[in-house]
């Protein structure tokens, strides 16, 4: 039986999704991934007589998504996908944690969020991978870190300064958001607000992904104007975080000029977002059916001149940063993720593009205003800290150009259209290219047209393993630099 072919944001009936026996599903999935498709999501939904497993793969070159499902009776285990597909590993750990579905032969089966977080260390049945040897020692960091950042636990196995292995433990931020969405079914505004707080550094990315999914399920049309404003906000978010990252990367190699200059530039960008919607992170801007705030023509000019000014500053600051020998010395050949590895573990976003993988949801599975103009996917080959820093520098310039074009494109039109109820028994996949990479929101409705399941994937879910691999054989003192070059979300994974 063939998998059901859909596009990004296409709402389909749940009955149309084929149900395969689990072994067929496994074989077909392996074949598809080997043919170059990408695993987007592997999740389950609880039903009265067991669990239904859904698999979504992306055919990026043809802008198609493939969906299939399989019924897994309670207490039945299945042959793990991860033995053939490393990219499925974390998804299977999540299935194990949320539904008790046991993948036989999984190489490292432990929960994603409840391994050690909140548990008395003496009580947890889950171990860290440990190495033996006379001079091997372990370094544990977190959950509370030195700076003002989210909590997570890192366990390094080292020989002297050299890192042999890093295991990353999540779960400290687990707020139960997927259940909370369902709990708030009778308050659609509260659901939108919740989507803004999935990851506070990706407000427009996550909220945009959620409202587009709701619009698809409710057949709500969005005006060209609202789409344009959403695009401007999303690109401003990308620029702001990338600038913040360049600032922090400069700080991590003690290059204080870069630290100060990029930090100040970031402030101008988030203040531009605030001039549109009253919040530095874009909160309150998006709503189901459009946006709440307009970009008037005086504001259009202000933003236009702000980004022109920004462009000059960024070019100059980037020129200075990337020609500094002391910076390059630390950035280059540090924390390399090879292209093959990146592909195997299913990396996404700028980190994947820095390793030479040409994927970008904006061009592969366009949404909103991106349907009407091409976004050129930018890649670099070296996969090191330098590449992950430099790709940010070029993406900032790309985003500035997009914003400039979109500002000139602001047409007349409704800011937002009224939302109606959702269609019953539907299924939709909403992909968005946030600044970190592919955000996936998958929504299922029940026969009354209420959400019965929402599955959220922050790009961090795909990329944390890349960080663990990047620091192998590096000195432990390079960990902060490697970590910053990915800048992954803790709460995005913990949900």
CB of 199 to other proteins, least distance (A): 6
Nearest alpha carbon to residue 214 among 466, 469, 379, 428: 428
Identify which of residues 260 and 358 has a Cβ nearer to other proteins in the complex: 260
Nearest alpha carbon to residue 273 among 241, 317, 309: 241
CB of 61 to other proteins, least distance (A): 34
The C-alpha atoms of residue 332 and residue 325 are separated, in whole angstroms, by: 10
**In 10 A of CB 89, how many CB atoms?**
21
Nearest alpha carbon to residue 295 among 271, 281, 268, 277: 277
The C-alpha atoms of residue 388 and residue 133 are separated, in whole angstroms, by: 34
Q: Which residues bind other proteins (CB under 8 A)?
A: 113-114, 117-118, 120, 143-144, 146-151, 171-177, 179-180, 183-184, 187, 189-190, 192-194, 196-201, 203, 244, 257, 260-261, 263-264, 267, 271, 274-281, 283-284, 292, 313, 316-317, 319-320, 323, 489-491, 494
The C-alpha atoms of residue 479 and residue 166 are separated, in whole angstroms, by: 10
CB of 428 to other proteins, least distance (A): 23
Nearest alpha carbon to residue 483 among 198, 142, 195, 173: 142
- How many angstroms from the chain centroid is the CA of residue 144? 23
Identify which of residues 173 and 399 has a Cβ nearer to other proteins in the complex: 173
**In 10 A of CB 219, how many CB atoms?**
12
Identify which of residues 117 and 357 has a Cβ nearer to other proteins in the complex: 117
CB of 108 to other proteins, least distance (A): 20
CB of 422 to other proteins, least distance (A): 18
Identify which of residues 276 and 336 has a Cβ nearer to other proteins in the complex: 276
Identify which of residues 201 and 364 has a Cβ nearer to other proteins in the complex: 201
CB of 221 to other proteins, least distance (A): 21
Identify which of residues 320 and 375 has a Cβ nearer to other proteins in the complex: 320
CB of 320 to other proteins, least distance (A): 5
CB 101 within 8 Å of CB 47:
no
**In 10 A of CB 262, how many CB atoms?**
27
Identify which of residues 201 and 360 has a Cβ nearer to other proteins in the complex: 201
For residue 70, give the H/E element and its range: strand 64-72
CB 345 within 8 Å of CB 466:
yes
Identify which of residues 193 and 394 has a Cβ nearer to other proteins in the complex: 193
- The one-character DSSP state at 436 is T
The C-alpha atoms of residue 392 and residue 436 are separated, in whole angstroms, by: 10
- The one-character DSSP state at 431 is E
Partners of 479 in the β-ladder: none
CB of 196 to other proteins, least distance (A): 8
CB of 274 to other proteins, least distance (A): 6
Identify which of residues 282 and 346 has a Cβ nearer to other proteins in the complex: 282
């Amino acid at each position: 039986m063939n998998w059901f072919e859909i596009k990004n944001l296409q709402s389909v009936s749940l009955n149309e999704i084929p149900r395969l026996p689990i072994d067929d599903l496994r074989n077909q999935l392996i074949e598809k991934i080997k043919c170059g498709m990408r695993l987007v999501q592997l999740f389950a939904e609880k039903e009265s007589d067991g669990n239904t497993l859904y698999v979504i793969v992306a055919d990026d070159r043809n802008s198609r998504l493939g969906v299939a499902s399989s019924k897994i009776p309670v207490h039945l285990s299945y042959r793990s996908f991860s033995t053939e597909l490393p990219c499925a590993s974390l998804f299977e750990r999540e299935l194990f944690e949320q539904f008790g579905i046991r993948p036989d032969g999984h190489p490292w089966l432990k929960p994603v969020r409840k391994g050690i977080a909140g548990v008395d260390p003496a009580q947890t049945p889950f171990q860290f991978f440990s190495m033996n040897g006379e001079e091997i020692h372990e370094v544990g960091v977190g959950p509370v870190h030195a700076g003002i950042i989210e909590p997570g636990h890192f366990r390094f196995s080292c020989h002297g300064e050299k890192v042999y292995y890093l295991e990353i433990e999540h779960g400290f931020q687990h707020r139960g958001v997927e259940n909370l969405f369902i709990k708030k079914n009778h308050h659609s505004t509260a659901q939108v607000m919740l989507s803004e707080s999935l990851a506070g550094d990706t407000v427009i990315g996550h909220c945009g992904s959620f409202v587009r999914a709701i619009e698809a399920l409710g057949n709500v049309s969005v005006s060209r104007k609202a789409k344009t404003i959403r695009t401007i906000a999303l690109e401003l978010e990308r620029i702001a975080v990338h600038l913040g990252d360049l600032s922090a990367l400069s700080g991590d190699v003690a290059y204080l000029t870069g630290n100060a200059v990029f930090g100040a530039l970031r402030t101008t960008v988030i203040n531009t977002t605030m001039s549109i919607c009253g919040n530095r992170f874009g909160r309150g801007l998006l709503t189901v059916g459009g946006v709440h705030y307009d970009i008037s023509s005086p504001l259009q000019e202000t933003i236009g001149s702000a980004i022109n000014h920004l462009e000059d500053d960024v070019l100059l600051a980037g020129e200075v940063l990337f020609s500094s020998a002391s910076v390059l010395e630390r950035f280059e050949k540090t924390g390399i993720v090879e292209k093959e590895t990146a592909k195997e573990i299913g990396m996404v976003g700028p980190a994947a593009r820095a390793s030479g993988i040409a994927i970008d949801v904006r061009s592969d599975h366009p949404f909103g205003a991106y349907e009407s103009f091409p976004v050129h996917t930018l890649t670099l080959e070296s996969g090191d800290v330098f590449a992950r820093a430099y790709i940010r520098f070029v993406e900032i310039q790309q985003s500035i150009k997009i914003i400039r074009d979109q500002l000139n494109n602001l047409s007349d039109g409704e800011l937002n259209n009224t939302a109606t109820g959702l269609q019953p028994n539907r299924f939709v996949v909403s992909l968005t290219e946030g600044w970190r990479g592919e955000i996936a929101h998958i929504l299922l409705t029940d026969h009354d047209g209420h959400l019965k399941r929402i599955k959220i994937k922050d790009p961090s879910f795909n990329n944390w393993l890349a960080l663990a691999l990047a620091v192998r054989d590096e000195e432990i003192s390079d960990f902060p630099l490697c970590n910053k070059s990915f800048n992954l979300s803790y709460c995005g994974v913990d949900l």
